[in-house]
Chains A and B, each alone.
Chain A
Amino acid sequence: MAQDSGTRTLISQAQFRRGRGRMIYWTLLAVVVVGFTLVFIGPLYWMVTGALKSGQEIAQTPPSLFPKDPQPQNYVDAWTNLNLAKLLFNTFYYATGAVLFQLVLDTAAAYSLSKLRPVFGNVILGLMLATLMIPAMVLIVPQYVTVIDLPILHLNLLDSPFAIWLPLVANAFNIFLLKRFFDSIPEDLMAAALMDGATPLRTLWSIVLPMSRPILGVVSIFAVTAVWKDFLWPKLVMPSPETRTVSVGIYAFSGGTPMNVVIAASVIAAIPTVIIFLIFQRNIMSGLTTGSLKG
C-alpha cells in the first residue's frame, strides 16, 4: 500500500500539481501532520513528563510544560513497587501461549473444515460462527464459574495461564479467517499431494502452511492484541498479584499508589509494545491490511 502513488484516488493527482490545488494540498498536509502529532504524540509527551512532576506541580495552575524539578524517583518507585517486570513478563507469557495455542488448534480446525470436510463439519462451523454475535460480556459469569470448576474434570483454572489460553482458542473469527484463506488454496494442489500419498498432516505442514504465512501472521497479531487489550477476564481469572497482567496490575495498584507513580508505571508498561510495534510496524501494518482483506 505504500507504492500506490500512481493509482487514482478521490482527488486526481493532476489537481495536486496545479497551483491552487498544490497549495491546498501542502497546507492541508502540514495541518494534518502537525495536528495528528499533537493529538497522538502530545498526550504521550504529557504522560512521560507528567510522571516526572511532583504531586504539588501536578496540581498547579496552569500546568507546566516541562517538569521544573524532575522526579525520576517516580519511575523507580513504579518499577519496584508494582513489580512491573513480573507484570510485563506475565503479559508476554500469556500472549505467546495464546499465539501458540491459536495457531495450532485453530489452524488445524480451519484446515479440517476447509479441506478435509468431515461429516457435520458445516454444522460445527455454523455453531462456531454463531458465537461471533455473542460478546464476551454476556458469557463472563458462566464462563467464570466454568473456569473455577471445569465440568467433569473438576479442575480449577484460576491463576493458571490456561484460563487465558484455552478460551481464546474458541475464536470463531480466527477460524473463519483461516478457513477462507485455505478455501482459496487450489484443490489440485491438494489432490496432487493426496495422489503422492501424503497424509493430511503432511499436506497441511508442507503445502498449506507455507502458503498461509500472511494469514498466520494476522491471526498471531490478533491473538497478541486480544491478550494485550483484555481487562476484565484476566482481572477475574488471575486474582493473585503474581499472575496479573500489566493492565490489571496497574489498575490494582492505582488505588493505593500516588497518581504520578501510577502514570509512571503506565509509561513503562507501554514502552515494550511500542518498541516492538515500531520495529515490526511495516509487517504489522501490511499484515493487518492485506492479509485479512485478501483472505
Chain B
Amino acid sequence: MAITTVPGTTRRPGRPAPYPPGPRRAGLGRKVRDNLTGHAFLIGAVLCFVVFSWYPMVRGVVMSFQRTRRGETTWVGWDNYARIIDDPSFWTAWKNTFYFTLLALVLGYAVPFFVAILLNEFRHAKGYLRILVYLPVMLPPASALFLFKFYAYDPSEAGLFNAILTALHLPTSEWMQSPGMTMPAMVLASTWMNMGSAVLIYLAALQNIPGELYEAAELDGAGVWRRIVNVTVPQTRLILALLAMLQIVATMQLFIEPLILANGAGTGDSATSVAYLIYQHGFFQNDLNGAAALGVIMLVVLAGFSAVYVRLTAKQD
C-alpha cells in the first residue's frame, strides 16, 4: 500500500495547447496519416489497458453472475452476491476494513504531515532524517512485517514492545492476540513501513509555500499552531486531499498485514479484511465467482467514496 507521489500541487492541469500548427493545406490523407501515427504510438499501452484493466472489469461483473463447476459455467443471477453477503465474516470484514482505514487516516495520514512540518523546520541533519524515514519503504513488505510479527508483537514478555513496556512499568499487551489491539497494531506496522513516501511528498509541498505568507501571519500575531492551520494547511490543501483519497483507496485493500501479522483472520476474525475475504473465497474456498462478486461490491463502495471526494474537492475550488 505504498503511497505514491502526486502531481499537480501547484496548479491545475492547463487547458490543452492548440493543435500543432502543421502545414495549413493539410489534406484528408495527411490527417488520416497523422491520426494513424498517433494511434500507433498509443496501441501498446491501450492493448495492455484493454486486456488487463478494461476487459477484466467487465469480466468481473460477468463472473459475479456466473458459477463454474466441473468446467461448466452457468448463469446464477444474484446467487453469488447472496452467498457472499451471507458469509458471517462479510460484515466483520467491512467493519474491520473501515476501522483500519479510519485508524490509518489518523495515524498514517496525519503523522507524516506533522513529521514533514517538523523536518522542514530543521536546518541540520535534514538529509539524515529524510533517509531514516524513507528507509523502511525500501524493505520488502514481507520482511518488515515478519520483523513486527516475530519480534515486536511477541505476546510474551520476550517481545520487544512488551520488554520496553515492562521496563517503563507500563501494562503489556498481547498485540495480535488481543482482538482490541489487532487493528491498531496493524496500522502501526503499516505506518512504519509506508510513511516515508508520504513524508517526502509533504516536504516537497511545504517547500512550495511562499515564506511571505508565514511572515504576514506572524505580523498578524498568529502563533505556530495558527500559522499551521491558516497557512500550511490551506497551501497544501490539494495535495492533502489527493493523498487522503489515495490513502483511502490503498488502505481499503488491506491484505498483506492481516495475512502475515495475524496469519489471516486473526483472533476471532478481528483481522479479516475485505481483501482477505476475496482471497479466502477465491483461493481457499474454490469460489472464484463469489470472490468476483465481492470485488464488484468493493468497487461500488469505492465508487461511492470517489463520488463524495469529487463533490468535496469540486466545491473547494
Contact = CB atoms under 8 A, between A and B. Distances in A.
The answer to whether A and B touch directly, with their CB atoms under 8 angstroms apart, is yes
B38 A259 contact: no
B253 A135 contact: yes
B193 to A, nearest CB: 9
Given A118-B42, A183-B13, 9 more contacts: A4-B207, A9-B214, A118-B34, A139-B295, A166-B52, A232-B255, A273-B140, A278-B131, A292-B5
Nearest to A266: B143
A10 B224 contact: yes
The residue in B138, B259, B296, B302 that gathers the most chain A C-beta atoms within 10 A of its C-beta is B138
A170 to B, nearest CB: 4
B211 A146 contact: no
The residue in B38, B157, B206, B306 that gathers the most chain A C-beta atoms within 10 A of its C-beta is B38
Contact of B34 (A113, A116, A141): A116
Contacts of A106: 45
Interface in B49-72: 49, 51-57, 59-60, 63
A93 interface: no
Contacts of B253: 135-137
Contact of B204 (A145, A231, A254, A289): A289
A91 B20 CA distance: 42
A112 B44 CA distance: 11
A41 interface: yes
Contacts of A281: 131, 134
B120 to A, nearest CB: 5
11 contacts: A10-B214, A10-B232, A16-B123, A61-B163, A109-B41, A109-B44, A254-B260, A266-B143, A273-B138, A274-B135, A293-B10
B106 interface: no
A232 B166 CA distance: 37
B150 interface: yes
Nearest to A122: B16
Contact of B49 (A16, A104, A127, A200): A127
Contacts of B241: none
A63 B150 CA distance: 13
A151 B2 CA distance: 31
Contacts of B302: 133-135, 138
Interface string A248-287: 1011001000010011001101100110011001000100
B158 A59 contact: yes
A120 to B, nearest CB: 8
Interface in B286-306: 288, 291-292, 295-296, 298-299, 302-303, 306
A144 B173 CA distance: 39
A29 B128 CA distance: 12
Interface string B112-152: 00000110111111111111111111111111101110111
Contacts of A44: 135
Interface in A39-69: 39-41, 43-44, 46-47, 50, 58-63
B201 A289 contact: yes
B157 A250 contact: no
Chain A interface bracket (under 10, 10 to 19, 20 to 34, 35 or more) = 35 or more
Nearest to A236: B283
B244 interface: no
Nearest to B123: A5
A199 B212 CA distance: 47
A209 interface: no
B256 interface: yes
Contact of A40 (B122, B132, B147, B211): B132
B278 interface: yes
Contact of A109 (B16, B46, B255): B46
Contact of A166 (B48, B135, B303): B48
Contacts of B163: 61-63
B143 A46 contact: no
B19 interface: yes
A270 B283 CA distance: 29
B34 A11 contact: no
A225 B194 CA distance: 12
Given A232-B255, A293-B208, A180 B249 contact: no
B118 A32 contact: yes
B159 A63 contact: yes
Nearest to A259: B150
A211 interface: no
Contacts of A46: 147, 151-152, 160
Nearest to B41: A112
B138 A141 contact: no
B203 interface: yes
Contacts of A128: 45, 49
A33 B128 CA distance: 9
A78 B37 CA distance: 52
Contact of A285 (B130, B231, B298): B130
A247 to B, nearest CB: 4
A44 B144 CA distance: 9
Nearest to B50: A170
Contacts of B211: 7-9
A142 B298 CA distance: 14
A145 B5 contact: no
B87 interface: no
B248 to A, nearest CB: 10
A10 B7 contact: no
Contacts of A60: 158
Contacts of A29: 122, 124-125
Contacts of A27: none
B183 interface: no
Minimum-distance CB pairs A-B, first 10 = A8-B211, A118-B38, A266-B143, A109-B45, A112-B41, A116-B38, A289-B204, A142-B60, A142-B56, A105-B44
